[in-house]
Amino acid sequence: MVSRVIPVDDFDLVIFGGTGDLARRKIIPGLYRRFLAGQMPEKARIIGAARGEMDDAGYRKLITDALNEFVPASKRDATTIEDFVAQAHYTPIDAMGDAGWKDLAALMRPDVIRAFYFSVGPRLFGPLAERLHDHKIADDDSRIVVEKPFGRDLESARALNKVLASSFDEHQIYRIDHYLGKETVQNLMAVRFGNILFEPLWNAQYVDHIQITVAETVGVGGRGGYYDKSGAMRDMIQNHLMQLLCLIAMEPPSHFDPDAVRDEKLKVIRALDPVERDEIVRGQYRADDGSPSYIEDSENPKSTTESFIAMRVHVSNWRWKGTPIYLRTGKKLRARASEIAVVFKDPPHSIFGPQEGRRGNVLVIRLQPDEGMNLRVTIKEPGPGGMRLIEVPLDMSFAEALGEEGADIPDAYERLIMDVIRGNQTLFMRGDEVEAAWAWTDPIIAAWEERGDKPKPYDAGSSGPEDALMLLHKDGRRWREIK
Ligand code: NAP
């Protein structure tokens, strides 16, 4: 299969925080891969900007080291890396002060797309937007890319939206949620709306329930201080899992265009019922042989922050009334696995007799590892001996189905950065979506705070606290295994 790479228009991409962890691990390697694919124009420039003093040569060395560390050896080639880093520049700047802004203004080229990636802490988002505007560095067509976290509650998200809106129009603001850049997540839309097969069944009449799981094996060590102020609800549910929920539950948009898609996602968030106390389980990981507990990782002996959440969510509309959606995310769990499972109802009657039972189909959309989809279907067990039924997966691993191209799925960041340059906001969150998500999340967090809720302990390497299993058991269902 021949990959179609359409080069984007010429651009200057300024990465504020261009020396930081995210830039080195994701943004620069993502750009390099697009360069390697032939998508980055020859004259396009990457301009790193941070407070540290450095010249272009120093920055090129820094990003060469980053590529050697974060790009697999099979994708690295000394000459290509040299050509790529030659397109990088550096300019010292202070987001909170005056230093460096005139130099940046002088550096920008006219008549090319200007994009500004805010890869810095969230308190700098507002000051950066204002300075870009005040120094007339941004024009009407310029784009800003804003990293997570976008606020920590409705009030702060509104304040941030307001600050950004005073310097930029909504069509210039790209709020990134890298889950939306994953190939499988977009494939979810292709499968739902590009086939006749699923959509007629995609409702409460045929779907028993949906499970969305994002499980990590790592703890919060290293960023415990940041995480402790956030927790799984703010760090994962409000954004990533909410976005996945929207894509799985939304109505078909009339067109695949940014506002049509985001309008439909917004309707899903607004249709979410408030969550009852017995529909949510919070957890915090314990110490394990030699590995620290959450309390030790966060260095906060009194922490009641959750490193795990399982919850039952209801979308109150015609399509979904009566079909629960279960969300689950946590750290230090059994395996690193993210998936969405649509569990269909059992067939109404088994013609094969009661001993064969009735089996529902399950469509699993795997985000990681091994991106792909599989549909569990019932077939006859081969061989003589009567009509015995078994379940087999109709498997579509992208790596297998698409050959070399499938094995080389673009990382979410590289796709999203190219979308910014192309001016396509479909896979970015709109301001009202983010606010609606906080409006739903805030009362849940407030209720915990009010009653001094303490998360349930769970073992590292487990599937979370016992109560999380019970959440489904009492509904007569069970979680899929985390593997
Ligand atoms: P980081 O490693 O601490 O890097 C911060 C960058 O910002 C550095 O380049 C720093 O350089 C620069 N900086 C700090 N203060 C500045 C100022 N006043 N003016 C200009 N530049 C300044 O942080 P990070 O992990 O890359 O995270 C960046 C953003 O991405 C954060 O919002 C984070 O929440 C988000 N994020 C990160 C990850 C990740 O995996 N790292 C994942 C998702 C989201 P100087 O100190 O030299 O100025």
Task: State yes or no: pLDDT of 391 exceeds 90.
Answer: no
User: For residue 288, what pLDDT is reported?
Assistant: 85
Predicted TM-score of the model (pTM): 0.94
Ligand 1 atom nearest to CA at 118: 29
Task: State yes or no: pLDDT of 458 exceeds 90.
Answer: yes
Which tens digits make up the pLDDT trace of 134-145?
999 999 999 999
User: For residue 114, what pLDDT is reported?
Assistant: 98
User: For residue 398, what pLDDT is reported?
Assistant: 66
Q: What residue owns the CA closest to ligand 1's atom 11?
A: 50
Ligand 1 atom nearest to CA at 121: 32
Residue 222 Rama label (left phi>0; alpha psi -120 to 50; beta): left
Report whether residue 470 contacts ligand 1, using a CB cutoff of 6 Å: no
- Of 16, 21, 179, best ligand 1 pocket probe by most atoms within 8 Å of the beta carbon: 21
Query: Per-residue pLDDT averaged across 2-12, rounded?
Result: 82
- Of 103, 120, 152, best ligand 1 pocket probe by most atoms within 8 Å of the beta carbon: 120
Confidence of residue 379 (pLDDT cuts 50, 70, 90): confident
Mean pLDDT in the chain? 93
Least confident of 5-14, 80-89, 230-239: 5-14
User: For residue 111, what pLDDT is reported?
Assistant: 92
Write the CB contacts of 279 (distance below 8 Å, at least 6 apart in sequence): 311, 312, 313, 471
Which tens digits make up the pLDDT trace of 416-446?
999 999 999 999 999 999 999 999 999 999 9
User: For residue 282, what pLDDT is reported?
Assistant: 98
- Residue 106 vs residues 136, 137, 176, 473: alpha-carbon distances, Å: 11, 9, 28, 63
> Residue 387: exposed, middle, or buried by beta-carbon count in 10 A (0-12, 13-18, 19+)?
exposed
User: For residue 408, what pLDDT is reported?
Assistant: 64
User: For residue 371, what pLDDT is reported?
Assistant: 83
Report whether residue 93 contacts ligand 1, using a CB cutoff of 6 Å: yes
Which tens digits make up the pLDDT trace of 230-243?
999 999 999 999 99
User: For residue 96, what pLDDT is reported?
Assistant: 97
Q: Are 398 and 372 in contact (CB under 8 A)?
A: yes
**Percent of the chain scoring above 70 in pLDDT:** 97
Query: Per-residue pLDDT averaged across 393-422, rounded?
Result: 78
Q: What residue owns the CA closest to ligand 1's atom 46?
A: 51
Confidence of residue 405 (pLDDT cuts 50, 70, 90): low
Question: Who has greater pLDDT, 90 or 182?
Answer: 90
Query: Per-residue pLDDT averaged across 175-196, rounded?
Result: 91
Ligand 1 atom nearest to CA at 26: 40
Query: Per-residue pLDDT averaged across 213-218, rounded?
Result: 97
Question: Who has greater pLDDT, 281 or 410?
Answer: 281
User: For residue 342, what pLDDT is reported?
Assistant: 97
User: For residue 69, what pLDDT is reported?
Assistant: 97
Distance 438 CA to ligand 1 centre (A): 24
Query: Is the torsion defined by CA of 225, 229, 233, 238 positive or negative?
Result: negative
Active site residues: 240
Confidence of residue 369 (pLDDT cuts 50, 70, 90): confident
Distance 122 CA to ligand 1 centre (A): 9
**Percent of the chain scoring above 90 in pLDDT:** 82
User: For residue 406, what pLDDT is reported?
Assistant: 54
Query: Per-residue pLDDT averaged across 34-62, rounded?
Result: 96
User: For residue 271, what pLDDT is reported?
Assistant: 98
